[in-house]
Structure 1
Amino acid sequence: MTMHSRTTKVVVTLAGLACLAACGSRVETPADAIAGQLPVAETRSVEAPPPAAGPGGLAGVAEPSASASPTASGQGGEVEIPDAKPTVAKTQKWVKIFSGPSDKDIKPNEDKTQGSNTVELNAVENEQIGTFVTDGAGRTLYRFDNDNTKPPKSTCNGSCATAWPPLLIKSPGKIFPKGIDPKIIGYVERADGHCQVTINGWPVYYFVADAKPGDLNGQGVNDKWFAVAPTGGKTKAIPGFPLTNPTN
């Protein structure tokens, strides 16, 4: 009877871990789960170096720079204040969405079909379509009119997802936005169990025909695919640029 009880507990524990890994590309261990719940200050103290300015300053505590220039009057006026480091603005389960861009260089995954534990989102200006969102490598991100936002749901699967690879985030994840409200950023679990980044509920995608940063070859495809705006909305269509795609 005791042995049966212990077996049941093991099964329940493993089921719990499987549940954690359902939306992501790897199974989390109990140690991962604990690490993901560390206070922000402890996590950041490992990743971010202490401010360069100020002798012997503590990590995360800004001190006036010794080389900061006084005001023109020479009476010890304003000093330059270092930019504030990003803090966690929102948490969705095991994903932390920060208040701004990372203070350290992040190299995005070159393979669009592979997710990453750290994702950058940047708002970029364009004369033709207005402001749209790219990843940290400058690659255009799109939204699909057939998707749902309440609740968020991706309807692009199979051959559609081959042509329009979803922007995936792995566990434990961090998202650093620039020019986008972190409160409207999140993720949704796809039909294949992976986690796809969302902006205001809209799942976002790459387009396989975009070869280099800034390409907009997916803009207006089938009048359903558009570069996503920082609000999650659609950007303007490019005049005389209607395209068709057999997958959707």
Structure 2
Amino acid sequence: MTSSLSGPPSSGSAARRATVATALAMCGLASLTACGKTLQIGDEPAARTSATPSAQASPTSAGTGGTSNSALQVVGSTAQDAGLNGTGGTVVGATLQEAPPKWVQLSAVTSAQLPTQHLININQAALYRFDDDNAAPSQTNCNDACAVKWPPVTIKEGGNVYLAGVDPKEVNAIRRQDGQVQVTVGGWPVYRFAGDSKPGDLNGQGLDGKWFAVGPAGQKAGQ
């Protein structure tokens, strides 16, 4: 589904875009196969498993019984490199998506509010992690009312995850209780925040002492 920004770009948008440009870890279109990966939803991140490249980990289920999943494509380049414009990905704040997007982009940036690297989506919405979740194995504990306040970053099965300044081996996905596929970074499920109304907002940082902007390896940004 094509999504749009819920507000006009902030005055810092140009600066953030410039920061994104300097943070890119891009591979050319001709070498996407070499710098990307195909994985089954629920595979452990490469840095956290001793399995051989040909082995498939059992899907990590958040209440679905570990059913088989379509492959997720993690591409080590940006959506722009693939000829996509900035209208895909996930939206800002609590704006609903009637269907998960076919692709998302994770970009590592810094900002005036948070000078350490943290992730944003294609629409410059800050992405977060939750201390009550699990990273090994990956599992979300934010469902129902929690997921309304903290919308998970979801993607269509078989969709592409484009990256800017993020190591492909850190990116994965899990299946949620509602059957949707949620993107993980460093094993941690990632979310937006309903209290962020425009690009660049970081109103969820440190909220309840459990929610933090997520760094490019899944770490708490600013810690």
Q: TM-score, normalization: structure 1?
A: 0.59
Shift of the alpha carbon at 1:126? 2.0
1:152 is aligned to 2:170: no
Alignment of 1:71-82 (within 5 A): none
1:202 is aligned to 2:188: yes
1:177 is aligned to 2:163: yes
Q: Which runs of 5+ in 1 are unaligned?
A: 1-82, 238-248
- Name the amino acid aligned to 1:90: K
| Map of 2:204 onto structure 1 | 218
Contact 2:153 2:190 in 1 (8 A): yes
Shift of the alpha carbon at 1:101? 0.8
- Give the number of aligned pairs: 155
Alignment of 1:51-90 (within 5 A): 84-85=28-29, 87-88=32-33, 89-90=36-37
Shift of the alpha carbon at 1:99? 1.3
| Map of 1:119 onto structure 2 | 104
Q: Which moved more, 1:119-128 or 1:83-92?
A: 83-92
Moved over 3 A (4+): 109-114
- Name the amino acid aligned to 2:28: A
Once the two structures are superposed, residues 151-178 of structure 1 have per-residue CA deviations (whole angstroms, 9 ceiling, x without a partner) of 1000000100000000001022101010
Contact 2:126 2:202 in 1 (8 A): yes
| Map of 2:84 onto structure 1 | 105
Indicate how the Cα distance of structure 1 residues 216 and 152 shifts in structure 2: closer, same or farther if over 3 A, else same. same
CA distance in 1, matches of 2:147, 2:153: 10
Alignment of 1:22-41 (within 5 A): none
CA distance in 2, matches of 1:112, 1:175: 20
Contact 1:128 1:236 in 2 (8 A): no
RMSD: 1.6
Shift of the alpha carbon at 1:90? 1.4
Indicate how the Cα distance of structure 1 residues 199 and 213 shifts in structure 2: closer, same or farther if over 3 A, else same. same
Task: Give secondary structure in 1 for the equivalent of 2:148.
Answer: helix
Q: Which has the larger radius of gyration?
A: 1
Contact 1:124 1:132 in 2 (8 A): yes
Q: Which moved more, 1:106-115 or 1:161-170?
A: 106-115
Shift of the alpha carbon at 1:112? 4.8
Once the two structures are superposed, residues 117-168 of structure 1 have per-residue CA deviations (whole angstroms, 9 ceiling, x without a partner) of 1111111112442111000110110000000011100000010000000000
Contact 2:204 2:211 in 1 (8 A): yes
* Bigger relative contact order, structure 1 or 2 (CA pairs below 8 A, ≥6 apart): 2
Shift of the alpha carbon at 1:224? 0.4
Shift of the alpha carbon at 1:197? 0.3
